Amino acid sequence: MTDDTIAIGRPTGGTFAFARGLLDFERYGLVYVWLLLILAFSLFVPSFFRLSTFQIILGSQATQIIVTLAVVVALLGGEFDLSVANVVAVAGTATVTLNTDFGWPIGITLVAVLAAAIAFGALNAFVSVAVGVPSIITTLGSGTLLMGLSTGWAGSAPRGGVDGGFVALASAPIFGLPLSIYTTFAIGIALYYVLEHTPLGRAFVFAGQNAEVARLAGIRVDRLRAASLVWSAVFSALAGILLVGITGASVPAVASGYLLPAFAGAFLGSTVIRPGRFNVPGVFVAIYFLVTGVTGLQLLGYTGWVNDVFYGASLVIAVLLTQIVARRRRNRALAGG
């Protein structure tokens, strides 16, 4: 047997590196905890390990994931957007009202809603970036104002009657899952590509993490900060539109429930895949981890209050883990220096 033959069966350095990478608990710890959670619920909840349960878990988070991406875009730009849930509600209300009460075609309605979202995001950007009001205050105030104006315009009651073709399209089943979740994955992939594989996206992330250094490098930090708030509003409006397509109605009261899970998902997602940084793949892992936990607890008989407790606890733990990861990275950098 020749040396060449022996070399064929020998594991390569790349194989070992890949295996070591998968065992990196700092990067993939939440994935392993998620798998253990699935295993635990499968053992103790007979109705959990069914195809229908996993279809519900996978297909039910289209809107929540997009709202979380909206939060992440703002956070990557160094801003906090607390208006995302209100924008979801108002976008849904506007979609139904313009399409049913005013008789606008659904295509024109959607364009108008997205244009309004851009204007709203630009207003937040002007107040936060140009005037200098902290974005957490700006978006809290503007979101409340927007919700009040929407209630005065169209009321706060659930409303239906939106274009049936739009609802049928959003809910069209493909391999057992609605088209809406595929749309969400497409949006996530596009955002991931822009942030990770384009000069503009990398500059955006760098500016959000190191604003002063980015300015010295010639990056227009304020413009990117403004863009983060505009895109956050656009993603939130997309979530509101998608919610109308899924449910066939606007339900303003439901939208308020998106804010806490969005921030929990954003911060929890920053502890996985790219620890210490808000990232798109982390959002998907975090949201599905959270909904798996909530679904399992509900099947165990814990309903009503369990959502708030689980999401609230997850947010606190996620922030703590983010701080721990950041501290460990700083210590390693100092030790290496």
Residue 13 lies in a domain: no
Say if CB 200 and CB 144 are below 8 A apart: no
pLDDT tens figures, 274-320:
988 999 999 999 999 999 999 998 888 887 777 788 888 888 888 88
At 167, which CATH number?
1.10.3470
192 belongs to a structural domain: yes
Which residues make beta-bridge pairs with 177? Answer: 174
pTM of the model: 0.90
In a domain, residue 34? The reply is yes
Q: In this structure, is the dihedral angle defined by the CA atoms of residues 164, 169, 170 and 174, taken in order, positive or negative?
A: positive
Which helix (H) or strand (E) segment is 19 a member of?
helix 13-22
Q: How far apart are CA 314 and CA 317, in angstroms?
A: 5
The label of the residue with tokens 């005013």 reads: 102
101 phi, psi to nearest 5 deg: -75, -40
Buried b (16+ CB within 10 A) or exposed e, 220-245: ebeebbbbbbbbbbbbbbbbbbbbbb
Q: Is 59 within the bounds of a domain?
A: yes
Asked whether residue 227 is domain-assigned, the answer is: yes
Query: 239: closest CA among 79, 94, 75, 68?
Result: 68
Is 262 part of a structural domain of the chain? yes
Is the Cβ–Cβ distance between 295 and 56 less than 8 Å? yes
Does any domain span residue 9? no
Number of domains in the chain: 1
Amino acid at 94: A
Residue by residue, pLDDT tens for the chain (337 residues) are 444 544 444 555 555 555 556 666 778 888 998 999 999 999 999 889 999 999 999 999 999 999 999 999 999 999 999 999 999 999 999 999 999 999 999 999 999 999 999 999 999 999 999 999 999 999 999 999 999 999 998 888 888 999 999 999 999 999 999 999 999 999 999 999 999 999 999 999 999 989 999 999 999 999 999 999 999 999 999 999 999 999 999 988 888 889 999 999 999 999 899 988 999 999 999 999 999 999 998 888 887 777 788 888 888 888 887 778 777 777 776 776 5
Residue range(s) defining the domain that contains residue 110: 27-329
Distance (Å, whole) CA 106 – CA 159 = 16
CA separation for the pair 91, 183 (Å, rounded)? 18
